[in-house]
Homo-oligomer: A and B are copies of this chain.
Amino acid sequence: MNHMRRLSNEKDGKKIKNQTEMIKSDRLLTMKTGYYDTDELITALATPWGESALAVIRTSGQGCIETVSACFSHSKKLTDAAGGTLVHDFFVDPGTREPIDEVIAAVYLAPSGYTGQDSVEIFCHGSLPGIQRILEALHKAGFRNARPGEFTMRAFMNGKFDLTGAEAVQEIVSAKSRKAQALALGRLSGNLFHEIDTVKHALVTILSKIEVQLDYAEDDIEESIEIPASEVRELERKISELAATYSTGRLYSEGARIVLAGRTNSGKSSLFNLFLKEDRSIVSDIHGTTRDYIESWITIRGIPVKLFDTAGYRESQDSIEEEGIRRSEKVAEAADLILYLIDGTFGITEENRSDMKQLSGETEVILIWNKSDIAVDDPPRDTIPVSAVKGAGFEILEQEICNKLLGASVSQDSEIMIDSLRQKELLDRAAESLSEAVLSLEGNVPLDVIAPEIGDAIDALGELTGEITSADILDKVFSGFCVGK
């Protein structure tokens, strides 16, 4: 079922009257035909699989509360509960009535709650066998396991947010830095949707004018309405700017790989530890945080960075060449940036020169003049003086790393960024159609040629926010979600 050509079809004689009406029918059609059947009762563990104080098991669907109540020691407590309230009870096997856990249930009545359907969230002990027993009991009662993103998809179906908001839910969960999380929260709050929707409404107004013109043309009226190319060009610019945030948005969401390289004793491990220490203060208090000291996720000014210390390889080898360099190179190959350390107490050696020649490939490199506090010389040009042990020069290094990673990107201070390839491609498509429309308008091409160009841009933006969509697209969007979301 593909709705993408909807607007083009409507051009054939019909006027655009009520977008919302059509959107609704689209969504309903998808509900019936898609991979996801929104009538079924679904359940999933919404918290990570591990021993902990609490775990949350989500349920949703029509008849959800009644069905969950079969697993409650005092079923009526649950079925009588008002929406938005908590119920304390024993969770039991619906067949044997054997108690399984002492739980709290949060009751949501449609259209409230996350999915907009009746739903119950069960807060149980974070016990692995306990969670298993509860899920099995729910299956017995009539629930099936939710597919990835199925709760969010139902929320989208019920109009809780547009498709960019739905995508933002998973983007929040998988955010690797505060900045990425904050950007995704903005999208969840609808800032991207409103930006796109504003452009789309302007385009719909322009298209309506064209359609009216085409209709009246049949009646042979004299005056033609002016469609200014500059107005379309301005909308095209807005869309292109949004598309251009993709590389930065993706950097904030997916992060960069940075490799530390250099000769033995150049101070790679000290620098590695310095990066970790600066970042670590944030998480040291949180229980269960573990780090692997050969590679570690850190954050540099909001950019998540997977930092690789090649120390492990170095130790077993006398020289960075031979086996050692082969293995370090493998890590460096996939790097976005290499930090090459020079031992300032020795100056630039022949070996350094040879390494630097090796490294001058496609990957960006920052040369670090380490041990700057006890160096033999002033830092050479193009190097950044740092004392990894004392922390001197660290802020300048961080700034330089940001500059290299963000490049000449104009969008790094933007409040609204995209990090989804799907969104990027649709914005590009919209911008391209608008570019064509601008050329057509400037070239006085007949309006019935321009109309589908603007129509296609509207379609692309509608698909972006999920107003025009197909089951296939939804499946693709939601299948990348985690279970329980």
- A287 and B49 contacting across the interface, CB-CB below 8 Å: yes
- A286 and B172 contacting across the interface, CB-CB below 8 Å: no
A178 to B289, CA, bound (A): 28
Most buried by B among A129, A136, A287: A129
- Check: A430 CB closer than 8 A to any chain B CB: no
Nearest-neighbor residue (CB-CB) of A130 within chain B: B181
- B52 and A51 contacting across the interface, CB-CB below 8 Å: no
A58 to B126, CA, bound (A): 14
Q: Which residues of chain B are within 8 angstroms of A414 by Cβ–Cβ distance?
A: none
- Check: A205 CB closer than 8 A to any chain B CB: no
- Secondary structure at the A interface, as helix, strand, loop or mixed, is mixed
Q: Which residues of chain B are within 8 angstroms of A56 by Cβ–Cβ distance?
A: 47, 54, 56, 123
This protein's copies in its complex: 2
A46 to B47, CA, bound (A): 10
- Check: A370 CB closer than 8 A to any chain B CB: no
- B482 and A53 contacting across the interface, CB-CB below 8 Å: yes
Q: Which residues of chain B are within 8 angstroms of A46 by Cβ–Cβ distance?
A: 52-54, 126
- Check: A230 CB closer than 8 A to any chain B CB: no
Interface residues of A in 157-202 (CB under 8 A from B): 169, 172-178, 180-182, 185, 188-189
- Check: A464 CB closer than 8 A to any chain B CB: no
Please give the distance in Å from A145's CB to the nearest CB on chain B: 5
Please give the distance in Å from A110's CB to the nearest CB on chain B: 15
- Check: A384 CB closer than 8 A to any chain B CB: no
| Given A44-B53, A86-B108, 6 new contacts (CB under 8 A) | A45-B287, A48-B288, A53-B58, A54-B56, A129-B176, A287-B482
- Check: A376 CB closer than 8 A to any chain B CB: no
A-B contact pairs, 14 of them (CB 8 A): A46-B54, A46-B126, A47-B56, A48-B51, A52-B484, A53-B173, A53-B482, A53-B484, A85-B85, A101-B181, A104-B106, A129-B177, A129-B181, A287-B484
